[in-house]
Structure 1
Amino acid sequence: MKRTLTVIAVVVAASAAGGYWYVDSKQPLREGELTLQHLQATVEVRYDERGVPHIQAQNETDMYRALGFVHAQDRLFQMEMMRRLARGELAEVLGAPLLETDRLFRTLGIRQHADAYAAKLDPNSPATVALQAYLDGINQYQASRPAPMEFDLLGIQPRPFTAADTLSVAGYMAYSFAAAFRTEPVLSYVRDQLGSEYLDIFDLDWHPEGVVGQPLAAGDWKDLGAIARISHEALLDAGLPQFEGSNAWAVSGSRTASGKPLLAGDPHIRFAVPAVWYEAHVSYPGFELYGHYQALNPTASLGHNRNFAWSLTMFQNDDVDLVAETVNPDNPNQVRHRDAWVDLLQREETIQVKGAEPVTVTLRRSPHGPLINDTLGNPSGSTPIALWWTFLETDNPILDAFYQLNHAESLGKARAAVEKIEAPGLNVVWANAQGDIGWWAAAKLPRRPAGVNPSFILDGASGEAEKDGYHPFTDNPQEENPPRGYIVSANYQPLSPTGIEVPGYYNLPDRGQRLNQHLADAEVKWDLQNSQALQLDTGTGYGPRVLAPILDELRAAASDDQQRALVEQLAAWDGDHRVDSVATTLFNQLVYQLTRQAMHDELGDSFFDSLLFTRVLDSALPRLTANADSPWWNDRNTEATESRADIVKAAWQASIAHLQSTLGQDPATWQWGPAHTLEHGHPLGQQKPLDTVLNVGPFEVPGGHETPNNLSHKVGPAPWSVVYGPSTRRLIDLNDASTALGINPVGQSGVPFDRHYQDQAEAYVRGEYQPMHLDQDDVQRHTRSQLTLRP
């Protein structure tokens, strides 16, 4: 027995030692010396207490090469998954369940577009030189260090990263902005199958000339519903970043305590682990920047130094049109375009599938763009739907744009850089130490025919889908140094200085109005402390606005004293999404039940599910509750004609029953925090038991949909999982940029078991901020390790 126990002990110890050695071999190297080929001089990399690298090089290409190397140390698996998602190569490592997603991205043509774009890059341009040096650093790391453990789990064979991979990821980011995939089929279905009176709550003009020449058949609507589902699931299931909204504001020195401009920014992105942003402080003689970088991108998307700072929000302009094509009855490979029959272009691509035979897909393109029906393989309908997308149609020198923005210390240079951003649409909010503040809505805005509403599927045969060029950048919404002394950007409908229409899928104005209400207070001098409070604000006027018209119906629906007390809590609720609020929980459950009771019978499962993920629903609900005569209130599944009061009563009782069954019989336990949680999911964390090892959380969190602290969840039944929110919170006072504050929602590293994998997660939930070290003395004081890269 003793000998047996001894043997078991030795085996266990050996296994533990082997496991420790394996995990340790995968960890980033943050101290010591390494050789990096193609360097011209030694590069010093100091790591601070959060694992942020401070890279000091002697020239620009060495700086970018070192950045690629250290970025890959922490985020190589994220880089691999991002390029595979964008290029339609996930099934090769994740198997047949990802085949739908791969078909979608192959259909969109991002891969083909990126390959062609990469072939045209000017090899001598500063942006291209920077990109190639950065990619060389990544590839040197990949070739010289052990592969991430996720590579071992999935059997990924490393291959070099290329400029086409970087451009493909840019395409994915642009696609993740595009709400049209989910919104236009829903709105077109409402218009064409239900009638114009059902559009009233969406505040959309009725344009009968926009109806497609040949009405879509049942099979076509089925296909559109399936495409909307695949489009959403491709983003949801990948566990990778998706841009959703954002806040940013700049305050001029006349309105700050320091007398210099202050910049605040918190882009709203789908939560995942690792987080989207990689922080790095980079420098060489004559240049310095503290930046937030995306995977496979050498230039910072967000950044600051002592002279200037900028942040981003989504513009949310409509840069995608879905176009129904008319097929030649004598030739199924031709469609009507500009009064003539034209051939569809066709190509084949092969998708590798793990554990199965490769799948060859046939992809077609009309003059308006790729046919998205090909996503389905075997569509039910007969109407080809083309995708016209600014990203595929413009030159879009986005690499040059952000390279120049990283160096733009003056208002004029920043404006010139931003003008090069053509797709996706971005609001750039900028400030400098000289006292300037500016905002530019960056996008190439197409000129559509008069009277055409791009919120609906367009008719490709009638000429409505044609574009006669693009508006000049001077037409884009923008402001520089406004007299009021501040600028706010929060994804609401912006106004063009020349009065042109700027269609899009914008967020509610509530979040922007709440920020503006505080920033407009001339008695307040803004500093880092009160700016933190504004970023962490959990209030909104949206909830009380939705509830006000139906409070009497809710009082009539309450069946006992306990329910009547709950209605009065709602009536008194100020919209603040605090963790201890019961009214917040009740409101969010009621919103879902109202939506379902009123709209599911008209839309059916597919289009109703799509509607829940659109921004137009947010705008529709206040109009719906305010209109007792809306046709949506009638339940088509009954012979009676229901009123608003009938539906409100049914929604109220269903809400109470659901909360009792899921959160307990005592309403005092229905607090928002326990019902509203944040878990950062790893791409492999959807599989048990990997979820317990790779995912981070869950955490009880405040905030909610369209509060400034926009910790947002899907409209649905309790409990709620937070889907997206502030991907970082940044505050920079340009009086002294060395005092800048920020936070990462999880941690700097994407390497499991690394000490920086989740070391900021709890601080983020508590609303804490961390210093972003800029001064060399400050960097030296906070250095925890140093890595020297030698030629």
Structure 2
Amino acid sequence: MKLILKILTVIFVCAGVLGAWYIYSKQPIRSGEVSLTNLQAPVSVRYDERGVPHIQAQNEADMYRTLGYVHAQDRLFQMEMVRRLARGELAAILGPKLLVTDRLFRTLGIRAHADAYAAKMDTSTPANKALAAYLDGINQYQNIHPAPIEFDILGITKRPFTAADTLSVAGYMAYSFAAAFRTEPVLTYVRDQLGADYLEVFDLAWHPEGVVSPPLSTKDWHGLNRLAHISQQAISDSGLALFEGSNAWAVSGSRTSSGKPLLAGDPHIGFAVPSVWYEAHLSYPGFELYGHHQALNPVASLGHNMDFGWSITMFQNDDIDLIAEKLNPDNINQVWYQGQWVELQSRTEQIEVKGEDPVTLTLRRSPHGPIINDALGEHSGKTPIAMWWAFLETDNPILDAFYQLNRADTLAKARAASEKIHAPGLNIIWANASGDIGWWAAAQLPLRPSGVNPTFILDGSSAEADKLGFVPFTDNPQQENPERGYIISANYQPVPDSGIEVPGYYNLPARGIRLEQRLSDNSVQWNVQNSQALQLDTGSGYAQLLLKPLLPIIKTAASADEKELVNLLSNWDGDHKTDEVAATIFNQLVYQLAFEAMSDEMGDGFFATLIRTRVIDFALPRLAEDPDSPWWDNQKTSVTEDRAATVTVAWRESLKHLRITLGNNTANWQWGAVHTLTHEHPLGQQKPLDILFNVGQFAVPGGHETPNNLSHKIGPAPWSVAYGPSTRRLIDFADPSQSLGINPVGQSGVLFDQHYRDQAESYINGQYHKQYLSEADVAANTEDTLQLVPVK
């Protein structure tokens, strides 16, 4: 027995030692010396207390090569996952459940487009040289270091990263901005199946002549709704971040305490582990930038230095048209286009599937674009639905655009860089230390025939699906140094001075209105401190707007013991603090109102899609105001319900659900109890790996379309926060070295690393960290130094 115990002890000790060595071998190396090929001179990488690298190089190529190396050692698995998602290669490592996602991304044509683009790239341009050096740094790290833990778990084989991978990731970003896949099928269904009266709550022009001819079949509608569902789920199933919205503003020196411009930005992106942004301070003689980088991108998407800075928000212009093609009844490989039958192009691609045989896809393309319902295979309807997408139809030199934006220290340079962004549409909000502020809605906006409403699926057999060119960039929405002294961007519909219409899938103006109310107050001199309060504001006027016509009905319907709850709603200011009970009641009521009014007409599938669109946010207040809307009648009953009857049912069902879910003690209905954030890792979707890889749960304030946009999907309580500020940045150009920022989780994506989750609680508590830019601050806060040297 003693011998057995000794043997078991030795085994456990050895296992512990091996386990510790295994974990240690996977950790980032932030000190010492590493030799890299292709370096021209030594490079210093100093890491601060948050794990942010401060890179000092002697030339540009060495700087970007080093960035690739350090980015990879913190985020290699993220890079691997995002390229596989964009290129339709997830099923090879995650199995058949991701086949539907791979089919979608192959059908979108991102992979083929990126490969063709990479093949004709001019490798001599500064931006492409930067990309080549950066990718070399990634690949050198991958070649000489053990693979991340996730590679071992999933059986991923290392392979080089290429320019086509980076270009594919740009396509993923453009796709994640696109709301057309969810919205156009839903609204077309309302128009063609329910009629004009039902369309009125969406405030869209009614064009009966636009109804697709011949009409879509039941199988077509089922296929379109399935496609909408797949497009929504594709990224969330992979555990990667979806781009959703954003806030940004720039304030002129005339309105600030310091007398210099102030820049604020917080892009709204899906939460994940690791977070989307990788912070890095880059420098070589003649260049310096503190930037926020996406995986596989050498140039910063957000950045600043002592002279200038910028942030981005989603433009949310409609750069995708879904087009129903008319098939030749005598030849299913032909569609009617511009007065004649034309052949569909086709190609095949093969998808590797873990544990199963490869799947071969036949992908078709009409003159309008890829046939996207080919992604559904046998579940597709008989009508081919083509996709015209600006990302595939423009030159879109987005890498060159941001390379220039990383160096744009004047209005003219920033404007010229922004003009090169074709898709996805982005708002560039920019400021400099010289006193200028600017905003450019950057996108190539298609010119459609007069009277065409791209909110609906278009008829490919007519001229309405044709494009007449693109709007000149000078006619895009934009402002430079406006007299009012500030610029706001918050995803609402812009009104360009040119007077052109810019169709899009815009967010509620609630956030923009809230920011406008604060920033238009001439008695306030803006600084970093009161700007923090504005970024962290959890209030919204949307609640009062929606509740105003409903409260009289609810007061009549409420029982005696519900009067206190009605009073809470009546007196509530719309602030979504964690201790608010009214916020919980309101958000449950929002879902219940939509469900009781619309689910009977839409059916379960289309209703589930509708409440994932932005148009529902606009529709509900208009519905609440209109007592005569046909939506109020429940088609499943033999009587005709009016607004009062349906609102009463929504109120009672809301309280019933909350009592079942949270108990009868309404003191336990606080917002923080039902509104929580968990940062999910791709492997954290599988128990018990969630315990290791995920970060959270946290009770969080904020809500749907509050400035602190910690937002959830419309649905019944409880609510998991889906997206929110992916960073919060504040830069006062009186002294940009004192700029502030925060990462929602941590700088590192390496499990067990000290920077894996070290900022998560600070983020929830609304704290900020200094972004070191000056040499004195970098030196004083250096915790580790890594030297990269040329191979001798």
Q: Which bin holds the TM-score, normalised by the shorter protein?
A: over 0.9
Shift in Å, 1:573:
0.7
> In structure 2, what residue type is equivalent to 1:271?
F
Q: Is the 8 A contact 1:43 1:56 kept in 2?
A: yes
What are the Cα deviations for residues 354-404 of structure 1, in whole angstroms up to 9, with x where unaligned?
000000011000000000111011135211000000000000000110000
User: Higher mean Cα deviation, 361-370 or 372-381?
Assistant: 372-381
Matched ranges for 1:702-741 at <5 A: 702-741=701-740
Other-structure match for 1:592: 591
Distance of 2:231 and 2:520 partners within structure 1: 40
Paired residue secondary structure (1:33): strand
Other-structure match for 1:172: 172
> In structure 2, what residue type is equivalent to 1:116?
A
Matched ranges for 1:531-570 at <5 A: 531-561=531-561, 563-570=562-569
Matched ranges for 1:117-132 at <5 A: 117-132=117-132
Distance of 1:67 and 1:381 partners within structure 2: 47
Other-structure match for 2:101: 101
What are the Cα deviations for residues 197-256 of structure 1, in whole angstroms up to 9, with x where unaligned?
111111101012321121111010010011011111102211112110000000000000
Shift in Å, 1:6:
2.5
> In structure 2, what residue type is equivalent to 1:690?
L
Other-structure match for 1:701: 700
Q: Is the 8 A contact 2:374 2:380 kept in 1?
A: no
Shift in Å, 1:564:
1.4
Distance of 1:605 and 1:55 partners within structure 2: 53
Other-structure match for 2:608: 609
Matched, 1:389 2:389: yes
> In structure 2, what residue type is equivalent to 1:733?
D
Other-structure match for 2:497: 497
Q: Is the 8 A contact 2:373 2:380 kept in 1?
A: no
> In structure 2, what residue type is equivalent to 1:47?
Y
Distance of 1:16 and 1:641 partners within structure 2: 70
What are the Cα deviations for residues 741-780 of structure 1, in whole angstroms up to 9, with x where unaligned?
0000000000000000000000000000000000011001
Paired residue secondary structure (2:230): helix
Matched ranges for 1:434-513 at <5 A: 434-513=434-513
> In structure 1, what residue type is equivalent to 2:596?
Q
Paired residue secondary structure (2:469): coil
What are the Cα deviations for residues 118-166 of structure 1, in whole angstroms up to 9, with x where unaligned?
1111111000000000000000000000000000000000000000000
> In structure 2, what residue type is equivalent to 1:135?
L
Other-structure match for 1:68: 68
> In structure 1, what residue type is equivalent to 2:558?
A
Distance of 1:210 and 1:432 partners within structure 2: 47
Q: Is the 8 A contact 1:55 1:281 kept in 2?
A: yes
Q: Is the 8 A contact 1:26 1:148 kept in 2?
A: yes
> In structure 2, what residue type is equivalent to 1:335?
V
> In structure 2, what residue type is equivalent to 1:115?
D
Distance of 1:523 and 1:4 partners within structure 2: 80
Paired residue secondary structure (1:237): helix
Q: Is the 8 A contact 2:446 2:469 kept in 1?
A: yes
Other-structure match for 1:743: 742
Distance of 1:496 and 1:731 partners within structure 2: 27
Q: Is the 8 A contact 2:369 2:386 kept in 1?
A: yes
Q: Is the 8 A contact 2:261 2:437 kept in 1?
A: yes
User: Higher mean Cα deviation, 233-242 or 338-347?
Assistant: 233-242
Matched, 1:669 2:681: no
Paired residue secondary structure (2:189): helix
Matched ranges for 1:1-400 at <5 A: 1-400=1-400
Shift in Å, 1:665:
1.1
Q: Is the 8 A contact 1:508 1:618 kept in 2?
A: yes
Other-structure match for 2:642: 643
Identity of aligned residues (%): 69
> In structure 2, what residue type is equivalent to 1:324?
A
Distance of 1:205 and 1:5 partners within structure 2: 80
Q: Is the 8 A contact 1:265 1:731 kept in 2?
A: yes
Shift in Å, 1:419:
0.2
Matched ranges for 1:753-764 at <5 A: 753-764=752-763
> In structure 2, what residue type is equivalent to 1:628?
P
Distance of 1:198 and 1:568 partners within structure 2: 32
> In structure 2, what residue type is equivalent to 1:92?
A
Shift in Å, 1:54:
0.1
Distance of 2:746 and 2:468 partners within structure 1: 47
Paired residue secondary structure (1:745): coil
Shift in Å, 1:491:
0.3
> In structure 2, what residue type is equivalent to 1:482?
P
Query: What root-mean-square deviation, in Å, do the aligned CA atoms of Structure 1 and Structure 2 show?
Result: 0.7
Distance of 2:596 and 2:15 partners within structure 1: 56
What are the Cα deviations for residues 407-458 of structure 1, in whole angstroms up to 9, with x where unaligned?
0101100000000000000000000000000000000000000001000000
Other-structure match for 2:582: 583
Paired residue secondary structure (2:684): coil
Distance of 1:176 and 1:548 partners within structure 2: 34
Paired residue secondary structure (2:548): helix
> In structure 1, what residue type is equivalent to 2:539?
G
What are the Cα deviations for residues 70-112 of structure 1, in whole angstroms up to 9, with x where unaligned?
0000000000000000000000000000000000000000000
Distance of 1:234 and 1:470 partners within structure 2: 30
For structure 1, list consecutive stretches of 5 or more residues without a partner in the other structure. none
> In structure 2, what residue type is equivalent to 1:745?
P
Other-structure match for 1:527: 527
Distance of 1:486 and 1:263 partners within structure 2: 10
> In structure 1, what residue type is equivalent to 2:352?
Q
Other-structure match for 1:790: 789
Paired residue secondary structure (1:130): helix
> In structure 1, what residue type is equivalent to 2:19?
G
> In structure 1, what residue type is equivalent to 2:250?
A
Paired residue secondary structure (1:722): strand
> In structure 2, what residue type is equivalent to 1:744?
N
TM-score, structure 1 length as denominator?
0.99
Distance of 2:779 and 2:127 partners within structure 1: 30
What are the Cα deviations for residues 679-733 of structure 1, in whole angstroms up to 9, with x where unaligned?
0000010001100000000000000000000000000011100000000000000
Shift in Å, 1:512:
0.3
Paired residue secondary structure (2:685): coil
For structure 2, list consecutive stretches of 5 or more residues without a partner in the other structure. none
Distance of 2:498 and 2:725 partners within structure 1: 32
Distance of 2:517 and 2:648 partners within structure 1: 35
What are the Cα deviations for residues 593-644 of structure 1, in whole angstroms up to 9, with x where unaligned?
1111110000111111111110000111110111111110000001100011
Distance of 1:238 and 1:92 partners within structure 2: 13
> In structure 2, what residue type is equivalent to 1:722?
V
Paired residue secondary structure (1:704): coil
Other-structure match for 2:627: 628
Q: Count residues with an aligned counterpart.
A: 790
> In structure 1, what residue type is equivalent to 2:75?
R
What are the Cα deviations for residues 496-537 of structure 1, in whole angstroms up to 9, with x where unaligned?
121000000001111101001100011111111000000000
> In structure 1, what residue type is equivalent to 2:704?
H
> In structure 1, what residue type is equivalent to 2:77?
F
Q: Is the 8 A contact 1:213 1:462 kept in 2?
A: no
Distance of 1:559 and 1:205 partners within structure 2: 41
Distance of 1:542 and 1:9 partners within structure 2: 63
